[in-house]
């Protein structure tokens, strides 16, 4: 045993030399869940409190009243909540667009995927507007050729989705083929240009709406979609949105 | 008999551990332990998710993250806290306060550095600039040229931290903003090739700044099937980077990914999803001489 101990320093030397020459870095990586096993820091919570209070007060103040649940789950090619959003864009953006260009928006197209939350029955708050539209998307108006509008219609045929519209009437047969499409009571004219309002996200190719990509003219009216919704809720007392016959299938 | 064998082997093993310990005391320094903590894509998630949330009940929250970070700092004072961008946008806190609270809280938690994500431009480059006074930490980004913008001089390509004698070089790379962010928001910010910049940065940090560890904060995204540059391509096309802390793609990894770099050495990629649900932790143990990159790097996960 004594013998062994005496030899040890020599071994040490040898080992450490090797380790000096072949210096190593060992790495260990992991993720730690931030869950309920961790108690919150009271000082941080106190710091957040005034921000939170002000935010909640603003978010939860009642703006309007909704007499019935509006959900994107409604069957058919249009939904109450989709109609509400598209109608809000038409109503809120058209005066701005008109005052800047002298023209009027012909119709509005949004996307079904952009309806982010349903609207419960009862008081409607700013928080609801944030839930409906959590993104910072802006309303834009595109001047589209009649040809591009025809592409827009074939997009709707392929999509088979209840994309929200306002200002246009579309009728499809049972195979999702458009049998009529009209604006202001007149059928779409392939030789005429149309002013179509949408979001900057969709105009830039979101949801593959490429017919918006290269419009004759593009107008950014500097109006956020969410702000349009909030302004509209401020303006009205009771929401009257419902399913109708603007976009239907036989 | 078997049990006896086991005991004998165990005592032999402990003896060996003992040797190791003594050896480091008498000949070289003890392994130096550096801890890197990181977040990405927190997206203004100040509060924890509520108990009724369908996917992440009771998860996240800055006040809980603060406690966890402090606990780890007490265990190892040689700790860095980093973020890989997209601090902004995702809850009304951002819409209401423009990022002020996010930056103030990150400063309170003593973040050491962050890179920039595309959503950090959501209130425009002016909106980002306006919040800078609330951030007591540096923004590191090497491939955005801000010279013709208000952000000129307010970011750094890299920064060196010295912890327990270990020189840690941290640099940042950001994603191409064109097509992702409205050009009116990022204005004249010029995007430079992230692989080229990462090559330059890691070279400078290794050879001129003599860093022992090199960390890249990346908001490029974890992995794309297309040609688009991502953390995997960044790792395999460069040398000298030890760790890539990623973001943008909100990727949750069961364990960090190891990729071979251009010189066939290991690079660790870690990303912790989003919304502050998790805190990433990477521990480095540096043995022997200071020059660690290369020679027999072992990766333990």
Say what the pLDDT of residue B276 is. Answer: 97
Report the DSSP pairing between strands A217-224 and A138-144: antiparallel
Contacts of A54 in chain B (CB under 8 A): 96
SS3 call for B259: strand
Residues of chain B neighbouring A39 (CB-CB closer than 8 A): 64, 67
Helix (H, G, I), strand (E, B) or coil at B122: coil
Find out whether A171 and A184 touch, Cβ atoms under 8 Å.
no
User: CB under 8 Å, gap of 24 or more: what pairs does B20-23 form?
Assistant: B20/A15, B22/A8, B22/A12, B23/A12, B23/A15, B23/A16, B23/A19
pLDDT of residue B288: 61
pLDDT digits (tens, 9 = 90+) for A9-62: 333 333 333 333 345 678 889 999 999 999 999 999 999 999 999 999 999 999
Rounded to an integer, the average pLDDT of B139-161 is 98
What percent of chain B is modeled with pLDDT above 70? 86
Closest CA–CA distance from residue A19 to any residue of chain B (Å): 6
Q: Compute φ and ψ for A224, nearest 5 degrees.
A: -75, 140
- pLDDT, one tens digit per residue, over B11-49 is 333 333 333 333 333 345 678 999 999 999 999 999 999
What integer is the mean pLDDT of B200-209?
Answer: 97
* B180 near A CB under 8 A: no
> Is the dihedral angle over the CA atoms A127, A133, A136, A139 positive or is it negative?
negative
Report the predicted TM-score, pTM, of the whole model to 2 decimal places: 0.76
Window from A133-137, A148-152, A214-218, B194-198 with minimum mean pLDDT: A133-137
Nearest to A104 by CA among A166, A179, A172: A166
Among the partner-chain residues B66, B90, B93, the one whose CB lies closest to the CB of A51 is B93
* CB contact B263 to A (< 8 Å): no
CB A233 within 8 A of CB A129: yes
The answer to whether the CB atoms of B281 and A12 lie below 8 A apart is no
ipTM computed for the complex: 0.85
- Give the three-class secondary structure for B187: coil
Structural domains in chain A plus CATH codes = 64-249 (3.90.780.10)
pLDDT greater than 80 at residue B50: yes
- A44 contacts on B by Cβ (under 8 Å): 62-63, 66, 105, 108-109
3-state DSSP assignment of residue B179 = coil
Biggest CA-to-CA distance, chain B: 78
What's the rounded mean pLDDT across residues A109-116?
Answer: 92
DSSP alpha helix (H) spans, chain A: 2-21, 42-59, 80-101, 126-132, 146-159, 200-203, 225-235
Residue B107 sits at the chain A interface (C-beta within 8 Å)? no
């Amino acid at each position: 045993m004594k013998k062994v101990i005496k030899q040890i320093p020599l071994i040490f030397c040898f080992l450490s030399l090797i380790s000096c020459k072949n210096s190593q870095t060992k790495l260990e990586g992991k993720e730690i869940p931030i869950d309920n096993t961790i108690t919150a820091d009271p000082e941080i919570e106190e710091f957040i409190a005034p921000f939170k209070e002000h935010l909640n007060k603003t978010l939860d103040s009642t703006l309007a009243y909704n007499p019935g649940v509006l959900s994107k789950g409604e069957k058919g090619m249009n939904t109450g909540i989709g109609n509400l959003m598209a109608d809000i864009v038409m109503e809120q953006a058209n005066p701005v667009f008109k005052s800047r260009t002298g023209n009027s928006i012909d119709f509005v197209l949004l996307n079904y995927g952009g309806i982010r939350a349903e609207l419960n029955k009862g008081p409607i708050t700013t928080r609801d507007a944030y839930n409906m539209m959590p993104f910072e998307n802006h309303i834009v108006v595109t001047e589209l050729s009649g040809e591009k509008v025809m592409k827009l219609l074939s997009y709707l045929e392929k999509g088979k989705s209840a994309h929200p519209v306002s200002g246009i009437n579309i009728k499809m047969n049972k195979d999702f083929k458009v049998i009529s499409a009209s604006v202001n009571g007149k059928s779409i004219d392939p030789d005429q240009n149309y002013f179509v309002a949408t979001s900057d996200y969709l105009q830039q190719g979101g949801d593959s709406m490429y017919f918006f990509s290269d419009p004759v003219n593009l107008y950014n009216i500097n109006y956020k979609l969410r702000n349009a919704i909030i302004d509209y809720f401020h303006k009205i007392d009771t929401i009257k949105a419902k399913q109708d016959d603007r976009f239907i299938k036989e | 008999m078997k049990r006896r064998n086991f005991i004998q082997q165990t005592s032999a093993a402990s003896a060996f551990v003992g040797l190791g310990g003594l050896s480091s005391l008498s000949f070289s320094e003890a392994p130096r332990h550096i801890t890197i903590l990181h977040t990405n894509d927190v997206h203004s998630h100040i509060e924890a998710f509520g108990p009724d949330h369908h996917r992440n009940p009771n998860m996240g929250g800055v006040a809980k993250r603060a406690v966890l970070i402090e606990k780890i700092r007490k265990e190892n004072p040689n700790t860095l806290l980093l973020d890989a961008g997209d601090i902004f946008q995702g809850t009304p806190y951002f819409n209401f306060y423009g990022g002020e609270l996010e930056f103030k809280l990150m400063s309170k938690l003593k973040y050491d550095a962050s890179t920039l994500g595309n959503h950090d431009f959501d209130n425009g480059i002016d909106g980002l600039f306006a919040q800078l006074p609330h951030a007591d930490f540096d923004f590191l980004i090497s491939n955005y040229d801000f010279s013709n913008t208000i952000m000129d001089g307010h970011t750094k390509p890299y920064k060196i931290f010295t912890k327990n004698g270990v020189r840690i070089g941290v640099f940042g790379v950001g994603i191409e903003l064109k097509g992702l962010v409205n050009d009116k928001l990022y204005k004249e910010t010029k995007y430079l090739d992230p692989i080229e910049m990462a090559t330059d940065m890691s070279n400078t940090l290794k050879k001129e700044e003599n860093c022992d560890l090199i960390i890249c904060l990346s908001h490029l995204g974890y992995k794309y099937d297309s040609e688009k540059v991502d953390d995997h391509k960044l790792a395999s096309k460069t040398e000298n980077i030890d760790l890539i802390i990623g973001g943008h793609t909100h990727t949750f990894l069961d364990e960090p990914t190891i990729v071979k770099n251009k010189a066939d050495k290991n690079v660790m990629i870690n990303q912790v999803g989003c919304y502050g649900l998790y805190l990433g932790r990477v521990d480095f143990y540096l043995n022997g001489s200071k020059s660690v990159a290369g020679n027999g790097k072992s990766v333990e996960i």
